[in-house]
Structure 1
Amino acid sequence: MKKITPDPPETAIASDSLDLAQLSVDSQRVVSKRLRNPNHVDPVCHVFTILPNVDTETLLCNACETLASLNVLTTDLACKLEGSTRSLALSIQQLAVVGELLVNRALDNVDPQGSGCERSPGAHDS
């Protein structure tokens, strides 16, 4: 026996119950409150905490690795895009490379022997 399927099938869409106008008003209120009162604690900035006793070299090594990862991610993304969105992804990738070069130079200043952390190949040769 054939089952009759409505055309299009009836589905419960969660976005129907979401009031986008109210969400926008609520979001604007929260953002405005933070901007008016800089002493108001931003709950997002307390999600991740860096321990206060971490040395500068370790922080720079982690920043370098993060920027190297961003470089790879944006390069992979740019290969899948075309036109202006590809140019935008490549611009972000370039900023990541420049940031990585700056961090590597800071690492060279902190530890001229380079005995601390593993750096991206060629990133500190300039």
Structure 2
Amino acid sequence: MKKPTPNPPETDETSPYESADSRKLHEAAERALDHHFNPLPKKCPGRKPSQMFQISPDMDDESLLAHACESLASASVMASDVAAYVDSPQRHRILGIQQVIMLAELAVNRVLDNVEVSRYPA
């Protein structure tokens, strides 16, 4: 009786770990494949983020926005002050930077106006 499908080709039973060289090649190939096809960032187990400039995770949104708004206002004033002491080409650049800062400040102020303050968490 004939089979509808042929037998799979016979393969030799060699292991990629037969010798030290084949093991190294196999590990290198695995690393290369993981690098290109599994680009998930690997987190270093012993790495701790710097705590020099850190915002408390339980800080409320309104306080964060208020601080951002005050920082942008200060940066705008500093840019304006520096622009008063430089000549025309640099002054235009600094005033352009000040305008971007002011637009960011306006956006933060709008968000602050729209934030619904919940004093008592549910």
TM-score tier after normalising by the smaller chain length: 0.5 to 0.7
Distance 2:74 2:48 in 1: 27
Residue equivalent to 2:67? 62
Deviation digits for residues 103-126 of structure 1 (CA, Å, limit 9, x no counterpart): 0000011048xxxxxxxxxxxxxx
Gaps of 5+ in 2: 1-40, 118-122
Q: Which amino acid aligns with 2:58?
A: N
C-alpha distance in structure 1 between counterparts of 2:111 and 2:48, whole Å: 30
1:81 and 2:82 matched = no
Q: Specify which structure has the higher proportion of helix.
A: 1
Name the CA distance, whole Å, in 1 between partners of 2:75 and 2:60: 23
Identity, in percent, stands at: 41
1:49 maps to what in 2? 54
Give the letter aligned to residue 49 of structure 1. Q
The two structures, once aligned, show a CA RMSD in angstroms of: 2.4
Query: In the TM superposition, what is the alpha-carbon distance from 1:83 to its structure 2 partner?
Result: 1.8
- Structure 1: runs of 5 or more not aligned: 1-36, 113-126
Using the size of structure 2 for normalisation, the TM-score is: 0.54
Please name the residue that 1:25 is paired with. none
Cα distance, 1:77–1:39 mapped onto 2, change above 3 Å: farther
| TM-score, normalisation: structure 1 | 0.52
Indicate whether 1:97 and 2:102 are aligned.
yes
> Number of paired residues?
75
